[in-house]
């Protein structure tokens, strides 16, 4: 999988907010700062595709580092980590517009959904986490939202909408893979690929005792025909983080047994 750096269902209002950006579609390229040197793209947007990254909180929290559980209880399921622009050559843009500071008031109608589906498991300051996601990743999608009067709002609304369309927790449960299950990369992939309709990426980590566990799932999208459309993820066939396709991996409890306090 390309990269890992740590830290739902959207309402009708969230989905309605996407009308402007989905109709507007691609417009102009933006200057880009690269995390892995120079990269080329022919998309005209400053990126080739985007990753929607969702993490299983139990796996994030039961490592040696632990986590900080949010004050507002999130939904039971995979939680959003972010929507990250990428290049097919393995590099990615970041911090693309220092003249587009984060504005929390622009997200007033999305705040409840953000707390529910996209909380930080590291910082008690949720707005600081969302600010980081916008300045590091969201600003690199401004080319897609170029004709929108509210690109920051539309970025967060899009993330929530994409999460609603890919409820990994429910897809796994439908395949008989639930909390406490011992499964494998191959079985998780089969369930999610079938439920989503495109091939996803699956990542694992280790708990404090060294047991391998399911950590995250990633779906991929391109901007095509004035809309974001799902594609097969470029690294969907790699089971490296999970050992091997049939190596056992577990899905721990949703809530961590030990949490860091603020």
Which band of pLDDT confidence, cut at 50, 70 and 90, is reported for residue 260? low
Domain-wise residue ranges, the chain = 12-250
- Could you tell me what percent of the chain has a pLDDT over 90? 72
**Residues 115-147: tens digit of each pLDDT:** 999 999 999 999 999 999 999 999 999 999 988
Residue of 86, 137, 201, 216 with catalytic role: 137
pLDDT of 110: 98
Q: Which fold has domain 12-250?
A: Ribonuclease Rh; Chain A (3.90.730)
Q: Is the pLDDT of residue 108 over 80?
A: yes
Q: Would residue 5 show up in a list of annotated catalytic residues for this protein?
A: no
Q: Would residue 51 show up in a list of annotated catalytic residues for this protein?
A: no
Write out the DSSP string of 166-210: --HHHHHHHTT--TT-EEEHHHHHHHHHHHHSS--EEEEEE-TTS
Residue of 55, 81, 153, 201 with catalytic role: 81
Q: Is the pLDDT of residue 76 over 70?
A: yes
Residues 6+ apart with CB under 8 A from 209: none
Residue of 133, 142, 152, 201 with catalytic role: 133
Q: What are the CA-CA distances from residue 172 to residues 10, 19, 180, 226, 248 (Å)?
A: 20, 30, 12, 31, 16
- Tell me the average pLDDT of the chain: 85
Which band of pLDDT confidence, cut at 50, 70 and 90, is reported for residue 30? very low
């Amino acid at each position: 999988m390309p990269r890992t750096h740590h830290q739902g269902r959207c309402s009708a209002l969230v989905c309605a907010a996407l009308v402007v950006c989905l109709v507007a579609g691609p417009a102009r390229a933006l200057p880009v700062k690269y995390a892995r040197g120079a990269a080329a793209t022919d998309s005209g947007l400053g990126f080739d595709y985007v990753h929607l990254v969702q993490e299983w909180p139990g796996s994030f929290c039961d490592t040696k580092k632990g986590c900080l559980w949010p004050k507002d209880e999130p939904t039971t399921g995979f939680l959003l980590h972010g929507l990250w622009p990428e290049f097919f050559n393995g590099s990615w843009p970041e911090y693309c517009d220092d003249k587009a500071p984060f504005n929390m008031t622009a997200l007033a109608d999305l705040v409840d959904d953000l707390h529910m589906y996209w909380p930080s498991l590291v910082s008690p300051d949720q707005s600081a986490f969302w600010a980081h996601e916008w300045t590091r990743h969201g600003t690199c999608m401004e080319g897609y939202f170029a004709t929108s009067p509210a690109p920051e709002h539309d970025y967060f609304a899009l993330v929530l909408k994409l999460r609603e369309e890919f409820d990994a927790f429910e897809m796994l449960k439908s395949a008989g893979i639930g909390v406490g299950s011992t499964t494998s990369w191959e079985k998780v992939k089969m369930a999610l690929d079938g439920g989503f309709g495109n091939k996803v990426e699956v990542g694992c980590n280790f708990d404090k005792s060294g047991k391998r566990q399911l950590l995250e799932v990633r779906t991929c999208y391109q901007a095509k025909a004035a809309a974001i459309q799902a594609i097969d993820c470029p690294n969907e066939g790699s089971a490296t983080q999970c050992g091997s396709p049939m190596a056992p991996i577990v899905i721990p409890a949703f809530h961590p047994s030990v949490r860091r306090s603020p």
